[in-house]
């Protein structure tokens, strides 16, 4: 069993894998990406492929765009040595959030056998557009937190954290617009963001659907909140569907309401932690939730050009204060396409 980071770029990931394969067959290597072991990430497969009503909507005809947020309120803690080298893009997007995206966007697998599921995840990762340097400039935003005073408490910036270079160019925030180049998703932006020292810890996927084709309610005062499906990975695990409903009273005024599923109230039992699930799976030889080498390479293939582009630039960091939702440029990245980040 090996846990991430699986290399720090494509070449080192291949080298690591080559070393492992000197001793073990690929089928005997269990690479942990603990996000895949989270109950809520596994539930995406149950939700999509255990039900008949969602899959017909799960494509470019009905989905306007997808937002994947992996926000953390903690800073770099005592991991400066590792984190300074990795940064948010490598630490969270290359692995966890791309795996989440693959789970949301993959094709149905023919069975629930390990390689069947992993083939589909892998295929999806290989369908993500590898961006040119020019596309990277328009579709990615790096950030680094600066000092701030929150509720009277002074928070250090990343460059003031213990063990961090005072001129560090490390990204503690990363936002990327990905495109999946297949028939299901062509043209649908997948906005992925992650960061340290954001206002709260929340990981969620928000799928925004296209609006109704025609507004027929004359008296409606114009609330056009889109239909949203929100998959809450953590905390407050659950799924919500937001839709418009008639407000009681005369006239046809519409208001957004929410249909909610909560793990806590529906099942009332403790979910196993990601590591409990993954360790047990390895013991019984079930690799469904483990990352395969081709998936690791496909992710690096997408991330490495961004990493190269960011490394060759000099950013005016810090560009967001601790406790804020990232740099303004990340908002502008969405505004350019007529979208806005959800405030989870």
Which residues of this chain interact with ligand BG6, rule CB under 6 A?
A: 34, 72, 91, 203
* Omega before 235 within 30 of 0, i.e. cis: yes
**In whole angstroms, how close is the CB of 194 to ligand BG6 at the nearest point?**
9
Q: Which of 21, 34, 65, 96 is catalytic?
A: 96
**In whole angstroms, how close is the CB of 290 to ligand BG6 at the nearest point?**
15
96 is catalytic: yes
Q: Is 140 exposed, middle or buried (0-12, 13-18, 19+ CB in 10 A)?
A: buried
Contacts of 135 (CB under 8 A, 6+ apart): 129
DSSP string, 16-33: HHHHHHHHS-GGG--EE-
**In whole angstroms, how close is the CB of 8 to ligand BG6 at the nearest point?**
13
* d(C-alpha 199, C-alpha 71), whole Å: 8
Contacts of 320 (CB under 8 A, 6+ apart): 143, 144, 145, 146, 173, 195, 326, 327, 328
**In whole angstroms, how close is the CB of 235 to ligand BG6 at the nearest point?**
10
Question: Annotated catalytic sites, by residue?
Answer: 96
């Amino acid at each position: 069993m090996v846990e991430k980071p699986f290399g720090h770029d494509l070449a080192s990931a291949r080298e690591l894998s080559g070393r492992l394969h000197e001793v073990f067959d690929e089928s005997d290597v269990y690479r942990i990406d603990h996000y895949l072991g989270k109950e809520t990430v596994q539930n995406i497969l149950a939700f999509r492929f255990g039900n008949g009503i969602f899959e017909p909507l799960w494509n470019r005809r009905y989905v306007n765009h997808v937002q994947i947020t992996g926000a953390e309120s903690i800073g770099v803690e005592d991991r400066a040595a590792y984190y300074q080298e990795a940064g948010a893009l490598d630490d969270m997007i290359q692995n966890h959030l791309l795996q989440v995206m693959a789970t949301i966007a993959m094709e149905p697998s023919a069975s629930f056998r390990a390689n069947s599921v992993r083939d589909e995840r892998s295929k999806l990762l290989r369908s993500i557009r590898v961006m040119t340097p020019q596309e990277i400039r328009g579709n990615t935003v790096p950030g680094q937190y600066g000092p701030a005073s929150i509720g009277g408490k002074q928070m250090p910036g990343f460059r003031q954290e213990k063990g961090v270079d005072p001129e560090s160019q490390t990204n503690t925030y990363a936002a990327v617009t990905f495109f999946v180049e297949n028939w299901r998703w062509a043209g649908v932006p997948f906005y992925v963001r992650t960061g340290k020292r954001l206002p709260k810890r929340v990981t969620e996927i928000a799928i925004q659907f296209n609006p109704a084709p025609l507004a027929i309610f004359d008296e409606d005062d114009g609330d056009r909140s889109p239909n949203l499906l929100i998959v809450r990975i953590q905390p407050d695990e659950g799924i919500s569907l937001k839709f418009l409903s008639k407000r009681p009273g005369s006239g046809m005024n519409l208001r957004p309401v929410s249909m909610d599923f909560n793990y806590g109230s529906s099942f009332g039992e403790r979910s196993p932690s990601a590591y409990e699930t993954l360790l047990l799976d390895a013991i019984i030889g079930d690799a469904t939730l483990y990352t395969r080498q081709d998936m690791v390479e496909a992710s690096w293939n997408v991330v490495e050009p961004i990493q190269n582009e960011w490394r060759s630039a000099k950013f005016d960091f810090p560009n967001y204060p601790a406790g804020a939702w990232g740099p303004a440029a990340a908002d502008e990245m969405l505004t350019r396409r007529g979208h806005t980040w959800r405030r989870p």
